[in-house]
Structure formats: C-alpha cells, structure tokens
Structure 1
C-alpha cells in the first residue's frame, strides 16, 4: 500500500556529527525538495508522540515540492529506528554519511563540552564503558549498526558516502544523493566552502547562552541581519577545547579497528584513510 502523500520519500539517517546538517542544507536549496529544519527524531526518541505529531513536521511543505524528506542523525545507531522505519516507510530511500569514528567521537565530545554537559578532558568520556555518555563511542560502531538496516532494507535503497569526501567532491556528493532520492541536482559552487554546526565558530559564552535560551525562537528571524550579527560578534568567542592526546587517539583507533574492517567488507568502501593513528581528528 502506498504511503500517504505527506510521508517522507527519503530520510538522512546519520551519522551524528558527520555533517548531516550540511547535506540537509544543500538539499533544502533544491526547490523540488522539502525537508523540515528541525530533526523530528520520530523513529527514535519521539515515537511515543504518535503519527499525527510526526505529520506536523511536514505541514508547511509547498505544493511545488516533488520529494519530501527528513534528517534525524540518531536513527543509524538507535536500536529500534530501522525496524520502525521498515514498518512505516518500507520504500523510503535512505542516505547515510559516515565519518572517521575517532573524529566523530571527539566531535561529539566537543559538542557536549561547548554545551557545558561535558566538563572534563576527553579521557573522562572516550574510554570504555565508564563514560557518562556511551554514545560517544558506540555511535561510531557503524558496521554493528548497519547490520540492522541491511537485514531490513535492500542494499540499493541505502546510499552511503564519506564525510571526508564532502570537502573534496561536494558537487559529486550532491549529484549522487539527488539521483538516489530521484531529483535533478541543484549545486552552488559556494556551498563547497560552507560548514554547518562548525565547532570552530565563535559562539556566545555558556552563561549568556543559557540566559537567552527562552528567547531563541524570538530572535531566530534576526539571524543574518547586520545589526544582530554585529552585536553578536562583540560577545562571541571561539572555544578552546581540551585536546585529543596522541595516546588516546591511538587507543580509539584500536577500539574501532575491527568494526572498520567489517564495514569495508559489507559496504565495499575503501577506509584506508581511517586506519592511520597519526591522523589529526580535530
């Protein structure tokens, strides 16, 4: 039975901290595509809200949109998301962007650090089962997670590409994703240099961010306006993150080594770039 017209035709399922917001922004530049800005997380943490709640994310789609999609980067690693999507949207095209798991884990840690949720050095969070945030390590076990998806979806329904290729071949990535979801590509050359959720970008100090949190929706229309950005630039500062030590980087590389080998075998990917312990993962 064909899914209702408001249901997504494609879903970007992850991985977390692998620049999925970049591909979302590029796809949203295509007038043939509608994707809501927020991540619904419906098939992961929001499933109990029900289908009508999920439907509300797509109520503003224009009639001219030929293809509907969504992006929730936690779907890949969530233990129930693959089954739920297979039950609800068995024909949905799935898009997956993978990043060096060591770099992904450190980037995830940095996000929590700038939010004030992680307060200690990476060693306190990226070593073993004692981590207060298991996702830092577990989300990078891509082969383990993908096995669930491959059990439920045909391989040709899942497009997989690498984060590291976005900077080198951004147009090629846009063309591949567009072909996978069934639309003509739209690509701006300027998009090659654009980064979303950049950890190096200057941000407001944490106490000020917390104080202004209730006003987040109110000030959103002001973003990009010259006066607003000028005021923000006076207060924003680039964050200095605790570094990932060479010793910890090597331990993480060893931790992911077997999963990477399995991932190469089941996906036919060349992941030799991920295997060097001396790689700069900042």
Structure 2
C-alpha cells in the first residue's frame, strides 16, 4: 500500500458520531479502514509513513481506503501534513452543536476518571478557555486551515444532529461523496444505534482512576468469564454532574463568534446552536 492509496480521512469532531460513521463504513466490504484511530498526522507523525501504511488491513479488492482520527481537526499541524502527504484525499468532517459536544466530551472524560466532578473547572470558558472540552468545539478556527489547503469539493461537512434524525440519509451522503456503490446501507443496526452509550454500566470514575496503572495487566483478562462476572457485580450506571443553565449560557456566549464565522464559511445558518434551550 502507498500513500496515494489513501482515498479519504474522517477528521472529526470528537463526540460527533464519527465512530458510528467509521463502523458503518467498515461494514461495507468495499471499504478498507483500520480499527483504531491512528492519529498519524497529529500525534504519531514521527513514526513515519511505513508505520502508518502498515496499519491498514491488506485487501486488494477494496474500492476505497481511509481512516478516522478526530485529532486531525483539533491539531493545527495536521492539516499541512495531510495536504503534503495525501493531497488527493477526500475529507469528511462531522460536527455537533459545540455546547452539547463540550458537555458530552466532559462526560466521557469523567467516566474515564480523567476529570473531577467540578464541571465548572472544565467547562467554564471564563475560567479555563483552553480545556479540551472547550477548545475542541472551535470549528471555524480548526476548519479554515483545511479550506485553505484543499478544494471545497473535496471536503464534506456533515452534522451529528442529522445523523441522529436521519442516519440512513447521512450515510448515503458520505457513501456518494466517497464514490461507493449505491444500495442498501450495510448493517443497518449500526445506523440506528449508538456505538458508545454513556448509560452502559461501568466502574465508577474513582475506581477507574485507581486501576489505570494496572491496565496492561487487566487487559488480557477482559474477555474471560471470571472478569465479566466481577465487572458485572461492581459496574453501575454512572451519574454525571448536571449541566447548569448558567454554564450553558457562558459556553454559548464563548462559541458565538466562531459559530458565526463557521456559518459564513459553510454558507449555512447555524444560529440554532446559539439559541438552543437547555435539555
């Protein structure tokens, strides 16, 4: 495989159903995608092209090959590297209301035990505007570099909200953009269900944080019956810190200039992101 064989990249954003899109594409036998996020053009560039290409499953019968790494949207250096290494690749960007995305990202980090229950510490832009949950939602700041380096016809921007309402239609849009054959979407159950459900029982964040150093030891045991029994006995649905209306409004105010610029860039009215009522 060569770099010229990379036909597309799903570049983000985090918590915008990009894993749903990846798994739906992987169910199509004409598509070749590695399972993990490689983060090559963002975090792992020093590993070199040979390492990157070796991550793709060998299959001579596929029509298109690509990968998903949400960090490509968040890391400014990724756009230039992608344009230099795979200049003919098509780019798929999936975006989500930045306020809801920030809270969803915080919840994911919370259940991993990577953040505390002090939600204001991580989501209040007047205190910490550069935390990951906040900065990852500045889509115009992130996207304009790609529009500077790639023709607009090679960038497809889709939206999480449309995925949840009309998944088959959204999958068809991506398939057409990538030049895949028309037909029934593969594995329709993937298109109608969430890939990652935050209501699934898990170990509480404190326990996950304490057990993190033991992860290499525990990992090989995860599929054993004894591990599953122990996990089922102690795992519970996690209760997440609530999202206060006042904090939501501060985030809306923070994102408003970027959302307006993004709307102009895409030629789309995104003002509903700024007046959305609390849920």
TM-score of the pair, normalised by structure 1: 0.88
Q: Distance in 2 between matches of 1:42 and 1:190?
A: 30
Q: Is the 8 A contact 1:174 1:187 kept in 2?
A: no
- The residue that corresponds to 2:242 in the other structure is 243
Query: Does the C-alpha gap of structure 1 residues 139 and 189 become closer, same or farther in structure 2, counting only changes over 3 Å?
Result: same
- The residue that corresponds to 1:198 in the other structure is 197
Q: Distance in 2 between matches of 1:191 and 1:229?
A: 24
Q: Is the 8 A contact 1:171 1:187 kept in 2?
A: no
Q: Distance in 2 between matches of 1:77 and 1:158?
A: 16
Q: Is the 8 A contact 2:11 2:70 kept in 1?
A: yes
Gaps of 5+ in 1: none
Q: Distance in 2 between matches of 1:211 and 1:254?
A: 39
SS at match of 1:75: helix
- The residue that corresponds to 1:13 in the other structure is 11
Q: Is the 8 A contact 1:203 1:239 kept in 2?
A: yes
Q: Is the 8 A contact 1:202 1:238 kept in 2?
A: yes
Equivalent of residue 179 in structure 1, options 166, 176, 190: 176
The CA deviation string for residues 106-142 of structure 1, in whole angstroms up to 9 with x for no partner, is 1111121112121132101112375396222111111
Q: Give the C-alpha shift of residue 233 in structure 1.
A: 3.3
Query: Does the C-alpha gap of structure 1 residues 216 and 103 become closer, same or farther in structure 2, counting only changes over 3 Å?
Result: farther
1:83-122 map, 5 Å = 83-122=80-119
Query: Does the C-alpha gap of structure 1 residues 230 and 159 become closer, same or farther in structure 2, counting only changes over 3 Å?
Result: farther
The CA deviation string for residues 241-265 of structure 1, in whole angstroms up to 9 with x for no partner, is 1111000001101111111111111
Query: Does the C-alpha gap of structure 1 residues 232 and 65 become closer, same or farther in structure 2, counting only changes over 3 Å?
Result: farther
- The residue that corresponds to 1:149 in the other structure is 146
Q: Distance in 1 between matches of 2:226 and 2:153?
A: 48
Q: Distance in 2 between matches of 1:270 and 1:28?
A: 32
Q: Give the C-alpha shift of residue 17 in structure 1.
A: 1.3
SS at match of 2:74: coil
Q: Distance in 2 between matches of 1:227 and 1:29?
A: 31
TM-score of the pair, normalised by structure 2: 0.89
Query: Does the C-alpha gap of structure 1 residues 216 and 195 become closer, same or farther in structure 2, counting only changes over 3 Å?
Result: farther
- The residue that corresponds to 2:50 in the other structure is 52
- The residue that corresponds to 1:25 in the other structure is 23
The number of equivalent residue pairs is 274
Root mean square deviation, CA, Å:
2.4
Q: Distance in 2 between matches of 1:72 and 1:250?
A: 30
- The residue that corresponds to 1:77 in the other structure is 74
- The residue that corresponds to 1:271 in the other structure is 270
